[in-house]
Amino acid sequence: MRRAVRAVTYHDAVSDTQTAVPAPDRRQRRRRTRRIIGWTFAAVGVVVLVLVVAAVMVGMDALRAQATLRSASDQVGTLKQQVIAGDEAGVAQTLPSLQADTAAAYQDTHGWHWWLISRLPFVGPTISAVQTSAEVVDSLAVDALPALTAATDVLDPAVLVPEGGRIDLRPFIDVAPLVVTADDAVQAAKGEMDAIEVERLNAVVQDPVTKLQTMVDDLAMTTATASRAAQLLPSMLGAYGQRTYILLAQNNAEIRTTGGIPGAWLPITVSDGQITLGERNSAPSTAEPVLPLTEEEEALFTDRLATFGANVNLTPDFPRSAELAREMWAVTRNGEQVDGVVSVDPITLQNLLGAIGPVTMESGQELNGENAARVLLNDIYVQIEDTDEQDAFFADAASAAFDKFISGGHDVSATIDALAASANQGRLMVWSADPREEQLITGTVLSGELRGDIDGAPVVGVYLNDGSATKMSYYLDYSVDVAQQECRADGTRLLTVTVDIASTAPPEVADFPPYISGGGWLPPGSVQTNLMVYSPTGGRITEARRDGAATDEVGLYGHEGLDVAVTSVTLAPGESHSLEFDVETGPGQDAPAVLRVTPGARNPELTVNDSPC
């Protein structure tokens, strides 16, 4: 009898196979599973134990590293001051101690345990930041600072002050490579520290890391200055061949955007550090523009910018003024080329005399750190009516101050501070016709360049130009206030720029000689001032008000990609006006606004109340 055959499905086969597994095999599988789970828990336990051990080791190391990093950070600041002061004995003591601290900090923040913990979420950024800080400080101590200590001659302010009419350039030439190398290392260290996002760090290390960032930033500014000086001074002071410069003496009594009318042009010759001042020249003029002007320049300043030497600084861009001055000098002096342009004003001279001491003129008049600006900007015009005698007085003042300065023997720190203050106020500017040198000057306080932003900060410019051809700007009193009104969703900000301007002229000014008080198309003693307000890069000027009311007496122009609002203010003696401009910042400007203003006969009061959104 034939047996019936049942169709077996895959499922049935599997099921039959499973049911066929003997009971002992099932027990073995359960034991194997338990062993796997046991080993897994054991492995997890080992990992946890390793992490705990690593964390404890990192914690112990971190406590030691914190102390050594703090000590190292303090010693970097000490070492910088010792290098600047030329304290070689102090440097010899501080540097080895610093290097010992940084080596210990590096050792305490590296190893397998630090590598492991730095890979963990949440604490990883903090651990990495501590390691980076130790690496940066150790790198500075080993690579940058030893080179910098060898450059004490360059960083000593005394080497910048002439002795016997000459600046010794040999120290700069000798240490230039060391200073440049040190600066490269410090700038690299600054980049590493800047990359640390402090806000992501544990609160315990935020303050030390922030302090270290500030210290490195401060050091980077010092080394950048030293590097520029080491590269610029030898060539600009004639170490490799004679140099000639034009000294523009700006007169703030007739105001211009960068200070005052440059009515006196004096050649300066420099050869191997020896400085010679030439005879005073009046500002030249030409029938045609000496260089082509842009449409924007024509619209804002007319062709007077390039035809009258007294108007080359109608523009707030000093490098452009200097180019025009250099070309105007060449055109009017049979092609004679100069190597650069330097600009100063009587307040710079007054600051300098306050440091080096007074000078006595041939007339017996003393100029000092209290009266030089008043005498040169006002008294001379009131007391001497003959223009030739005025010119002779100005030439005598320039010569006397120059001779005293280059003779040497002065308080070095006070002299450097006086020149630095003048540069910071925009009263001392330098331009070089050599592109490499000019690139090094660019971005410093000496450049006087037109900019709408600086390192993420929006720049607001407020500039004044005299429109009355008098010396009444001496009596202008003005202040500028920048206040944030609104933060936009895109990160831009609305600022209100308020310019308060007044005439402090006395009633008797109408009786002064016409070249002081005017008397042509304006009543004697009145003054007209053309005011320009520049927006930041990518920003706009949206509205203007005069004395609280909207005004349409404002023209809107463009200049080098910036919005420019232009208006005119006429003031009788004792009169004042307040002008307001609504100014928008540009995108990506995440630092407080920077204000640049025309330096007048007195320092204006400047206020900025702004912060990133």
Domain-terminating residue out of 231, 266, 294: 231
Q: Kindly state whether residues 94 and 161 are assigned to the same domain.
A: yes
Residue 491 lies in a domain: yes
For 237-271, letters b (16+ CB in 10 Å) and e give bbbeeebbbbbbbbbbbbbbbbbbbbbbbbbbbbe
Which two structure tokens, joined as six digits, stand for 193? 């520290």
Report which secondary-structure segment, H or E, holds 494: strand 493-503
Residue 12 lies in a domain: no
Q: CATH no. for residue 468?
A: 2.60.40
Q: Kindly state whether residues 493 and 362 are assigned to the same domain.
A: no
CB atoms within 10 A of CB 456: 11
Q: Kindly state whether residues 268 and 417 are assigned to the same domain.
A: yes
For the chain, list residues with pLDDT below 50.
1-21, 37-61, 63
| Interatomic CA distance for residues 317 and 449, integer angstroms | 5
Mapped onto helix, strand or coil, the DSSP state of residue 566 is strand
Which two structure tokens, joined as six digits, stand for 54? 């690593």
Which two structure tokens, joined as six digits, stand for 78? 């000490």
Residue 602 lies in a domain: yes
Q: Cα angle vertex 605, ends 603, 610, to 5°? A: 135
Contacts 24+ apart (CB under 8 A), 116-120: 116/50, 116/51, 116/54, 117/51, 117/54, 117/55, 117/58, 120/51
Q: Cα angle vertex 156, ends 155, 157, to 5°? A: 105
- What residues contact residue 84 under an 8 Å CB cut-off, 6+ apart? 155, 156, 157, 222
| Interatomic CA distance for residues 348 and 258, integer angstroms | 13
Contact 182, 151 (CB under 8 A): yes
Q: Kindly state whether residues 218 and 268 are assigned to the same domain.
A: no
Output the pLDDT for position 521.
81
Q: At what angle do helices 88-108 and 23-85 cross, to 10 degrees?
A: 170
Q: Kindly state whether residues 493 and 369 are assigned to the same domain.
A: no
CB atoms within 10 A of CB 400: 18
Q: What is the DSSP letter of 9?
A: -
Place of tokens 């900090």: 105
Q: Kindly state whether residues 106 and 204 are assigned to the same domain.
A: yes
Output the pLDDT for position 378.
94
Q: Kindly state whether residues 277 and 174 are assigned to the same domain.
A: no
Residue 535 lies in a domain: yes
CA dihedral 245, 248, 249, 252 (to 10 degrees): -150
For 520-549, letters b (16+ CB in 10 Å) and e give eebebbbbbbbbbbbbbbbbbbeebbbeee
Q: Kindly give the residue spans of alpha helices, DSSP state H, lying in 20-117.
A: 23-85, 88-108, 112-117
- What residues contact residue 97 under an 8 Å CB cut-off, 6+ apart? 75
Structural domain that includes position 578: 451-609
- What residues contact residue 591 under an 8 Å CB cut-off, 6+ apart? 455, 456, 457, 458, 612
Domains of the chain: total: 3
Q: CATH no. for residue 424?
A: 3.40.630.190
| Interatomic CA distance for residues 443 and 414, integer angstroms | 25
Angular region, 581: left φ>0, alpha ψ -120 to 50, beta rest: beta
pTM, two decimal places: 0.83
Contact 510, 525 (CB under 8 A): yes
Contact 263, 280 (CB under 8 A): no
| Interatomic CA distance for residues 198 and 387, integer angstroms | 63
Output the pLDDT for position 150.
65
Contact 343, 429 (CB under 8 A): yes
- What residues contact residue 212 under an 8 Å CB cut-off, 6+ apart? 69, 73, 133, 136, 137, 193
Q: What is the DSSP letter of 120?
A: S
Output the pLDDT for position 166.
87
Q: Kindly state whether residues 590 and 570 are assigned to the same domain.
A: yes
Q: Kindly state whether residues 312 and 362 are assigned to the same domain.
A: yes
Q: Kindly state whether residues 127 and 147 are assigned to the same domain.
A: yes
Residue 511 lies in a domain: yes
Place of tokens 């690299």: 188
Q: Kindly state whether residues 226 and 248 are assigned to the same domain.
A: no
- Cβ burial of 173 (10 Å; 0-12, 13-18, 19+) is middle
Q: Kindly state whether residues 208 and 248 are assigned to the same domain.
A: no
- What residues contact residue 29 under an 8 Å CB cut-off, 6+ apart? none
Residue 459 lies in a domain: yes
Report which secondary-structure segment, H or E, holds 606: strand 605-609
Contact 338, 246 (CB under 8 A): yes
Output the pLDDT for position 210.
80
Residue 38 lies in a domain: no
Domain-terminating residue out of 211, 231, 251: 231
Residue 443 lies in a domain: no
Domain-terminating residue out of 207, 231, 255: 231
CA dihedral 65, 67, 73, 76 (to 10 degrees): -100
Q: What confidence tens digit (pLDDT) does each residue in 411-457 have? A: 888 998 999 999 999 999 999 999 999 999 999 999 999 999 998 99
Tell me phi and psi for residue 585, to 5 degrees: -80, 170
| Interatomic CA distance for residues 240 and 231, integer angstroms | 12
| Interatomic CA distance for residues 260 and 344, integer angstroms | 10
* Rg of the chain taking only CA atoms, in angstroms: 35
For 108-134, letters b (16+ CB in 10 Å) and e give bbeeebbebbbeeeeeebbbbbbbbbb
Q: Could you tell me whether strands 476-487 and 605-609 are parallel, antiparallel, or unpaired per DSSP bridges?
A: parallel
Mapped onto helix, strand or coil, the DSSP state of residue 199 is helix
